[in-house]
Amino acid sequence: MSNQWVGDNLSDVKVKNRSLVLRLLKKKGLLSRIDLARITGLTQPTITNIVNDLLSVNLLKEVGFSDTRAGRKPILLSMNDQAFYIVAIHFTRRGFSIALTDLGPNILFRRDSHYSLLENIDLALLELQKEFIHVLEYATQSLSLILGIGVSVPGPVDAESCTILAHPTFLRYRNLDLRKYLFEYDLPIFMMNDAHAACLHETWSGQAREAENMVYFMVGEGVGTGVLVEGKIYEGVNRKGGEIGHTSINIFGPRCVCGNYGCLEMYCSTYNVVEKAREIAWFGGNGYLRAVLEKEGKLEFHHLLEGARNGDSTSLQLLQQLGQYIGIGVVHLINLYDPEMVVIGGQAALAQEFLENSVKQVVEERLLYREYVTPQIHYSKWGDEVTLLGAATIVLDHFIAGDLGRF
């Protein structure tokens, strides 16, 4: 039996055991009291007491009966996602999104802004405060049920001081402390690098619910990694781990903004692919891409997806090449961490149908132990929303661990 599901019957660990029950129901879905006792090793009376306590504070609900054939049918339990709410904020290179979510986390209300911390930090922060108030106004009847604020950021952070550290493509100045801009309702703030937050979300709500050792490879405008080791996110000694996007795959390649040369992110990001498509549109004579650029005034990643699905050979070729570079990154990650699975996420995962053959081929050709290791490679279903959902999941993770004192 995995230790993550083993409980303790001592009376002074009520919070731990309640956390255990909530975690099980969140990750495994509908379970009966009998199921909970069997999985955790807790006694039936202990489980009954825990369930009754959680029902009384509206954190659990009874949702029907188990489909057993004989005897009395056990009542199934589910976590009540509407018991509490979370404010989620995700910063991108071009702006930010802020949302109110439930414990799903499901987005209930969302505001997006194109004010960037890279261009005008004061104006962006003023806009953040305004949009934060809009979200709280939407939640007027439930302000007391908001657990906290989760923030995900495409770069290094100091989670303890809620500070965004320097990042050359994202933050204009060093060391931005967000607390003074979000202090009004005295909500706890939790912060994490966006790849780590996305990985955390995948362990709660995605492909990796049952995994204890996995790697989340996030490929979007930037490239990063979240690593799960024995059920916990590994961030490194200084909480700066996972920056695979800034490992060099071509030491004679172009210089990256980080100072390195030939970084994986310069070949593997969706931003890079769109830039290539833009060059081809202007100088390569591709009719589809040129028409999109002239009509829309811009090219986005979804235009390449539409082009590939409609038979545009250049769009398809660019996505297949992206798959090759993602495959290189996957090989590095499997060789480094030997995980039970790799989940490819972020914006690039939306192109699974065009990527996966290229990714698979590169892994089969280049993985060190390819004759002995058959890694699971999955694609996240969340697309580029994963980082906003990941921000909410940071708070959810602390809540279910019992850190917020709500049960």
**CA–CA distances in Å: residue 32 to residues 17, 22, 68, 164:** 16, 13, 11, 43
pLDDT digit string (tens) for the chain, length 407 residues: 456 666 665 545 889 999 999 999 999 999 999 999 999 999 999 999 999 999 999 999 999 888 776 667 899 999 999 999 999 999 998 899 999 999 999 999 999 999 988 888 899 999 999 999 999 999 988 889 999 999 999 888 898 888 888 776 777 777 889 988 887 778 999 999 999 999 999 999 998 998 999 999 999 999 999 999 999 999 888 878 889 999 999 999 999 988 899 999 999 999 999 999 999 998 877 789 999 999 999 999 999 999 999 999 999 999 999 999 999 999 999 999 999 999 999 999 999 999 999 999 999 999 999 888 878 999 999 988 999 999 999 999 999 999 998 88
Last residue of a domain, one of 58, 79, 100: 79
Residue 215 lies in a domain: yes
297 and 218 assigned to the same domain? yes
Name residue 358's amino acid.
S
Structural domain includes residue 288 = yes
pLDDT tens digits, residue range 13-63? 889 999 999 999 999 999 999 999 999 999 999 999 999 999 999 999 999
| pLDDT for 284 | 76
Tens digits of residue pLDDT in 205-241: 998 998 999 999 999 999 999 999 999 999 888 878 8
Q: Could you give the CA distance from residue 308 to residue 345 in angstroms, rounded to a whole number?
A: 19
Strands 214-219 and 341-345: parallel
Determine the structural domain holding residue 150 and report its residue range. Answer: 85-200+387-400
Note whether 175 and 43 are same-domain residues: no
Classify residue 405: in a domain, yes or no: no
Evaluate whether residue 407 is within a structural domain: no
Per-residue pLDDT reduced to its tens digit, 182-207: 877 789 999 999 999 999 999 999 98
Strands (E), 22-123: 31-32, 60-65, 75-79, 85-91, 96-101, 107-113
Domain edge (last residue) among 79, 95, 112? 79
Do the domain assignments include residue 17? Answer: yes
Contacts of 162 (CB under 8 A, 6+ apart): 151, 177, 178, 179, 189, 191
Based on the domain organization, do 132 and 270 belong to the same domain? Answer: no
Question: Which CATH number do you get for residue 61?
Answer: 1.10.10.10
Tell whether 228 and 356 lie within a shared domain: yes
Shared domain for 223 and 336, answered yes or no, is yes
Q: Are 255 and 263 in contact (CB under 8 A)?
A: no
